[in-house]
Structure 1
Amino acid sequence: MISYCSRCLYPSTKPDLWFQDGLCGACHSFEQRSKYDWSSGRQVFRDLLRANKKNPRYDCIVPVSGGKDSTYQVWRVLQEGFNPLCVTAPTDQLTALGRTNIENLKSLGCDYVEISVNREVRKKINRHAFFAVGDIQWPEHLLIYTTPVRAAVQFQIPVILWGECPQREYGAGRPEDAYLKYFDRRVLEEYGSLNGLRVSDLLAIDGVAVRDLYFYEYPSVEDVDSLGLKGIYLDNYFPWNGISNAVISQSLGFRVSETNILGTISNYENLDNYVHGIHDYLKYLKFGFSRATDVACNLIRRNLLSREDASMLLERHDGRYPASYLDRTLTEILAYFEISMQEFDAVCDDYTNYDLFLQDQAGQLTRREDGSPQLAGSYSCLHS
């Protein structure tokens, strides 16, 4: 049976989440952050970039997707008087809205490098990871971390500027990791959503060779150490708030969806990739919560949404079957990876944690109108 944080709605099934006195790690972290003195953050940030400058042109690398957070990150760096090199490895299932927002980010006044890995190899890895670990976005999750590090070594730029520290914002990992200052190889391997699948395992895929995996691998220890690489988090120096990030980004030309995004309670994130819906649905089947919960919990902590109202919204929006996403049907999205609807449903069944969902007397899942399984107990127990 799922239990929930007494302040937000993070469940006990969330991987790597810890609880103390009924509060989840994310709420404990936010409580501590609210007491932080930000007055020196800006100067510490400026001093760090100046002290670690090697490339005569660029002050840091900002990994970007074109989303609200990376748009805000680039704007913040520019406002502080620094020149970032923006780096991305966009998905092969990039949406039209995602491309629009990337182009908008490029117009802010920065250089931008887009690294496109071999599409056929990436497609094979997407497909393999979907069946092997239930994560069709596995290549994206890895490349967003390894590609900027490769670029840092290539261009001799020691500082990579990430946005929020996930261990802080979402409470995953050991309590001490809520105070992380640097992203490094250890953090990638422990929290990089690899799900136990190693890069070396990809060589078992037919048609994938060592030469195809260069950008999927973290650079050598020697290259990283000689550069003095520091992966820093912007939320160590400036307050972090996804809502204000969205407001600032929209004022800079960032486009949101005209409708709510499937599986969440917002229209300002998960805009760039057609497979977001698939990833979030598998997350729901495995752990009993999904992206809508992540968004709601962040709003609850910031007193922008009550826990009771959030629980009602999550019953309606969290974990929805991804029959379509933005302007494409699930059949169309899966066809790119040569995955049939029958295979998709079979994989979903394989990765479903039946203990988390209602079942009838025959052991069959009780399903909502859209076909997604109904949580046992549901959020209804959290509101009257």
Structure 2
Amino acid sequence: MSKKNQLEAYYGLPNEVTFCTKCVMSNQRPTSAVEFKHTKESKKTTMNFDDDGICDACKTAEIKDNIDWGMREEELVKLLDKHRKNDGSYDCLVPGSGGKDSAYQAHVLKYKYNMNPLTVTWPPILYTDYGLKNWKNWLDAGFDNISFYRNGKVMKLLTRLSIENLLHPFQTFILGQKNLAPKIAAQHGINLVFYGENEAEYGNPIADNTSSLRDKSFFSFENLDEVFLAGVSIKELMDKYDVRLSDLMSFLPPKIEDLEKANIEVHYLGYYLKWTPQEVYYYAVENTGFKARPHRTQGTFSKYSGIDDKIDDLHFYTTFIKFGIGRATYDAAQEIRNRHLTREEGQALVRRFDGEFPDRYFDDIMKYIEMEPEYFHELCNKFRSPHLWGKDKGGEWKLRHNVSKTGLDD
């Protein structure tokens, strides 16, 4: 298709849709979960593909096979010894909700490496029953915890606005989740914060495992006039929605001067220990009482990832609408990289489950944010990028291209 005849691509996505030759991920995958607007002017970047059509995440998986994990563990022990405290105070911080990843992180750090972690929870917007039980089981396995329940009225407002303006139910939730850990660490004199998997596992730029938070752009409190939450400026939130700055502080990053005093380091445990999601799941089950969902997660084939928040399933449905990438694509791609699935098996799972509408908790979510279901579906149609979606002869929306090459324009 000539440039003149190209269909409009929203969010700065590539006009030509291609799929990784090793997994099932497409070149439409954004590199990080940050805010973006429904506009062609957006400069959103996507993951890279090499000349052989292999995505960054698959190349990272290949690199993992050649890493000397014994040496990486030695690096970890040196890091822990540097921060280890012998006076009974906390020497590291692990943010999490009690899912398999945070359960694994905290347990390994405490019971294998003899650290004293403080766990910190930015709670789900709408807990599932089993998610709440997993969180309690995690703490009962031997951990102190701070659970920070932000302003409920503001969380509800921002969740609704995130859907209306960005079709991104988790946008402000993710920002608060990211920003809480360094604030709590600074308050408690903890200099070491651990996240789980390195972001490069999913095709994001490889995270720096040694930098301080002062160097990380998303931890900057400068230029609040340029900060948008849920697609709305701070000023507009205060003026139009009668929200105080104090109501928004829990979503915003810490102040620069606080970071400079705290001298906090952020590290990814997945950089030091080989991280395989299925094995992490088994470890969490055995050591922290973690339990999978009692049913298959809608939109995919798995039962144990991202199961603590009712809105999680809807979030992945919106990524399917905006990028043509549903939860089954994310899960199958990861399983292929870990050699638990073949590409052909992954394609079959994507065909079967990607884009499945998550109706199990949908009414609960609409009631919570006070939105009519019909309005939500109208928003979904508004956010479909023309280069990804078209209507078939029956008037039904269909992807123009998919990994099985059975799309509207394949």
TM-score by length of 2: 0.83
What is the Cα deviation at residue 182 of structure 1? 4.3
> Of residues 49, 52, 62 in structure 2, which corresponds to 1:19?
49
> Of residues 351, 355, 367 in structure 2, which corresponds to 1:335?
367
RMSD (Å) for aligned C-alpha atoms: 2.3
Task: Count matched residues.
Answer: 364
Rounded to whole Å, the distance in 1 between the matches of 2:269 and 2:27 is 28
For residue 369 of structure 1, what is the aligned residue in structure 2?
A: none
> Of residues 244, 255, 259 in structure 1, which corresponds to 2:279?
244
Q: Determine if contact 1:53/1:158 at 8 Å carries over to the other structure.
A: no
Secondary structure of the structure 1 residue equivalent to 2:89: coil
1:210 aligns with 2:240: no
Rounded to whole Å, the distance in 1 between the matches of 2:101 and 2:336 is 19
The 3 A distance-change label for structure 1 pair 159 and 271 is same
Gaps of 5+ in 2: 1-15, 31-45, 221-227
1:291 aligns with 2:327: yes
The 3 A distance-change label for structure 1 pair 270 and 188 is same
Secondary structure of the structure 2 residue equivalent to 1:379: coil
Rounded to whole Å, the distance in 1 between the matches of 2:60 and 2:229 is 24
Give 1:94-133 correspondences, 5 Å limit: 94-133=127-166
The 3 A distance-change label for structure 1 pair 206 and 194 is closer
> Of residues 91, 94, 97 in structure 2, which corresponds to 1:65?
97
What is the Cα deviation at residue 269 of structure 1? 1.2
Q: Determine if contact 2:98/2:134 at 8 Å carries over to the other structure.
A: yes
> Of residues 174, 192, 202 in structure 2, which corresponds to 1:141?
174
Percent of aligned positions with the same letter in both sequences?
28
User: What's the CA shift string for 1:341-364, capped at 9, x where partnerless?
Assistant: 1211111111112321342359x4
Rounded to whole Å, the distance in 1 between the matches of 2:286 and 2:234 is 40
Rounded to whole Å, the distance in 2 between the matches of 1:229 and 1:287 is 35
> Of residues 152, 161, 169 in structure 1, which corresponds to 2:194?
161
Q: Determine if contact 1:50/1:59 at 8 Å carries over to the other structure.
A: no
The 3 A distance-change label for structure 1 pair 52 and 81 is closer
Gaps of 5+ in 1: 367-372
Secondary structure of the structure 1 residue equivalent to 2:404: helix
For residue 370 of structure 1, what is the aligned residue in structure 2?
A: none
Secondary structure of the structure 2 residue equivalent to 1:208: coil
Rounded to whole Å, the distance in 2 between the matches of 1:290 and 1:213 is 31
Rounded to whole Å, the distance in 2 between the matches of 1:321 and 1:131 is 18
Rounded to whole Å, the distance in 2 between the matches of 1:18 and 1:29 is 12
User: What's the CA shift string for 1:161-199, capped at 9, x where partnerless?
Assistant: 000122x110124xxx35654473635379xx9786666
TM-score by length of 1: 0.88
What is the Cα deviation at residue 151 of structure 1? 0.2
Q: Determine if contact 1:199/1:216 at 8 Å carries over to the other structure.
A: no
1:188 aligns with 2:223: no
For residue 311 of structure 1, what is the aligned residue in structure 2?
A: 347
Secondary structure of the structure 2 residue equivalent to 1:267: coil
1:259 aligns with 2:295: yes
Rounded to whole Å, the distance in 2 between the matches of 1:224 and 1:292 is 38
For residue 9 of structure 1, what is the aligned residue in structure 2?
A: 24
Give the letter aligned to residue 206 of structure 1. Y
User: What's the CA shift string for 1:307-356, capped at 9, x where partnerless?
Assistant: 011101101111212222xxx3x122211100111211111111112321
Rounded to whole Å, the distance in 2 between the matches of 1:170 and 1:199 is 31
1:228 aligns with 2:252: no
Q: Determine if contact 1:261/1:270 at 8 Å carries over to the other structure.
A: no
Rounded to whole Å, the distance in 2 between the matches of 1:245 and 1:359 is 41
